[in-house]
Amino acid sequence: MRLHQPLTENGAVRSHAPKLYSIRVKGHLGATALAAFPEMVSQQRGADSILTGILLDRSALFGILTQIEALGLELIEIRRLVPNPESAEISKRVTS
């Protein structure tokens, strides 16, 4: 039996590679709330918190969204980020 990979609307093969996300929620998150997101890095931007991290798949993203809802946080924005290949190369050289 031959398996087919899912396609996007334009016919390209859909990737199942981990993706980088930025998720903005209203308010500043304390240590207790941040403990619910160990795979994410938090930054404060004005009155909001931005959680950024690499998520393995859509279920991981939905898990984060479920945690946000369970904690009663107000979701403002979700962005899938495209990593800058140049910064990744610099990071490899610095850590090597």
48 within a domain of the structure (yes/no): yes
DSSP assignment string, 29-82: --HHHHTT-TTSEEEEETTEEEEEEEESSHHHHHHHHHHHHHTT--EEEEEEE-
The answer to whether position 35 is within a domain reads yes
Please count the structural domains in the chain. Answer: 1
Residue-wise pLDDT for 62-92, tens only, equals 999 999 999 999 999 999 998 777 655 544 4
Three-state DSSP at 90 gives helix
Instruction: Please give the helix or strand (H or E) that residue 22 lies within, else none.
Output: strand 19-26
Whichever domain contains 71, its CATH number is: 3.30.70.980
Torsions phi, psi of 78, nearest 5?
-125, 130
Question: pTM for the whole thing?
Answer: 0.71
**How far apart, in Å, do the first and last CA atoms of the chain sit?**
43
- Residues 4-53 have pLDDT tens digits of 555 566 665 556 789 999 999 999 999 999 999 999 999 999 999 999 99
